[in-house]
Amino acid sequence: MADLARQSQSLGTRPALLLIDMINAFTDADSPLGSESDAVVQACVRLQEAFRARDLPLCFTSVVYSNDGQAKVFRARLPALNMLIEGSAATAVDERLRPRASEPVFAKQYASAFFATGLDQWLKDQSVDSLVVVGLTTSGCVRASVVDGLQHDYVVCVPREAVGDRNSDAHIANLHDMHAKYAEVLSVDDVIRTLQGSL
């Protein structure tokens, strides 16, 4: 069955860069939660630099647990999540993407960056009208955040080189599905050209 007809959408005048779970636990290939993601990190660095150069907002998420009662079912299903303890090196943003003081890191316990966090209010406070969503993993927290971004009425863009997954088939399938229904999937170069040309 063919995909539904869709209408392309462009970034607005005030996009934000949302870096999903670019933390040591996910970017370190030797971590139980990690994968080989150096190319994803470098793509995120390029976008980070482009947004900073234009004084556009950017923010991060990290999965963080401060007590055993948080996300009990999720953690029981995926026991490796139990390493994501508040204050641990595992939950820190990868040093290559170090946040500035003005760039918040939203702690979350589930997949979506929007669920039970202050993200949406922060975006509204920054007058954001669209999102560029990057990070890890494509089939998990990136996809959940993209869907919720749409459900909060933001135009969403996903630069394909700036997201990654442990499973290459899941990565490809989820990029296809997000582009078909929820977001614009473009190259990093295309996103940067858009920032240069229209903002």
Give the residue extent of every domain in the chain.
Answer: 15-198
Q: CA-CA distance, 193 to 20, in Å (whole number)?
A: 22
Backbone angles phi, psi at 179, to 5 degrees: -65, -35
| Catalytic residue check, 44 | no
The CATH fold assigned to 15-198 is: Rossmann fold (3.40.50)
Q: Report which of residues 139 and 4 the model is more confident about.
A: 139
d(CA 114, CA 93): 18
114-135 pLDDT per residue, tens: 999 999 999 999 999 999 999 9
pTM of the model: 0.96
* pLDDT confidence of residue 198: 63
Omega within 30 of 0 (cis) for the link into 117: no
pLDDT of residue 164: 98
Residue 8 above 60 pLDDT?
Answer: yes
Tens-digit pLDDT profile for residues 41-82: 999 999 999 999 999 999 999 999 999 999 999 999 999 999
